[in-house]
Amino acid sequence: MLLEKVNEKLQKSEKARRRMSAARKVLRWDGGASITTFLLENGQVAIASNELKPDIVITASPDDVLGIMQKKLDPMEAYSSGKLKIKASLLDKLLMAELLS
């Protein structure tokens, strides 16, 4: 469901699509019970091999990530409370803010 939401956002937002089209990032999402790796490339997001070295690691429950994407949970509140953890460079954190908001 997360993959569909992210790709839907990229299709609807010209700004997000433009920013993501220049990026090639490996994102690892640790949802607690499962770990999923995504490849962001050419303005699209796809599931990738967990063997790839991640540029970005996000730790958050599936409910919290969907809450952020559905604008039911404020990303800064989730980050400040520890519900959302992002291990990445500052530029990559800004990229994720664009993608998740």
* pLDDT score for 30: 93
Q: Is residue 33 part of a domain?
A: yes
**Torsion angle of C-alpha atoms 26, 37, 69, 62, degrees rounded to 10:** -150
Q: Is residue 9 part of a domain?
A: yes
| Residue 6 domain boundaries | 2-90
> Percent of the chain at pLDDT above 70?
96
State how far the Cα of 33 lies from the Cα of 45, in Å rounded to an integer.
21
Nearest to 54 by CA among 10, 92, 18: 92
Q: Is residue 45 part of a domain?
A: yes
Please state the separation of Cα 28 from the chain's center in Å. Answer: 8
pTM over 0.75: yes
pLDDT in tens, 57-85: 999 998 998 898 888 999 889 999 999 99
Q: Is residue 28 part of a domain?
A: yes
pLDDT exceeds 90 at position 94: no
pLDDT exceeds 80 at position 26: yes
pLDDT in tens, 53-64: 999 999 999 899
Q: What's phi and psi for 55, nearest 5 deg?
A: -85, -30
Check which CATH number belongs to the domain holding 27 and give it: 3.30.1050.10
